Amino acid sequence: MAVLPIRIMGDTVLHSPASPVGEIDDEIRTLVADMFETMDAAPGVGLAAPQVGVPLRIYTYSYVDDDDQPWRGVLINPVLWMSPPEPGAPDPDEESEGCLSFPGERFPLRRADRVLVTAVDLDGASVRIEVDGWRARIMQHEFDHLDGILYIDRLSDGDWKSVQKIARKRGWGKPGVSWMPGVDDLDA
């Protein structure tokens, strides 16, 4: 297993729809193992294949709930259904999220509270996940990556302007920029 470099917001693979996975072979299994290692090293609660430069419809997730119950898995070729988000502005204390492809920052974003995801796992078995709350947010965030959407693309105009300033200051926003979890110091 290996930690992979995570692409930053300007990389073209992050802004294009990912392709479906055909056969689940050893190459896909190795990719998924590397994605789990990368996600854990970052650390993150989810990681989509495009974030590590692979334009395939795969994402991993890992979350420990308020009862210390782990929730971890991989979804291949997922399909997402969601309830409509509540109207209004997001609560910055309850509805902020971050992204490993725009590391070190968090912004408020309104998401649907309930989702249903169907997919297959590494064995090709059907998976059906129906969740709400933070887990629903993770599913929506990672699914967006598979369609070439970053959460910063969904922000309000004011927050979008802040994102642009941060990206210019850090030299992000262009193809080929990445960071290595466990190696790069992004707080500098």
What are the start-end ranges of the E strands in 25-125?
Answer: 46-48, 58-64, 70-82, 96-99, 102-108, 114-120
Is there a catalytic annotation at residue 97?
no
- The active-site residue out of 86, 95, 97, 142 is 142
d(C-alpha 109, C-alpha 96), whole Å: 6
Q: What is the dihedral of CA 147, 169, 161, 57, to 10 degrees?
A: 10
Contact in structure between 170 and 162 (CB atoms under 8 Å): no
Short-list 4, 31, 17, 18, CA closest to 122:
31
Which pairs count as long-range contacts for 90-94, CB under 8 Å and 24+ apart, including other chains?
Answer: none
Under DSSP, is residue 139 helix (H, G, I), strand (E, B) or coil? helix
- The residues annotated with a catalytic role in the active site are 142
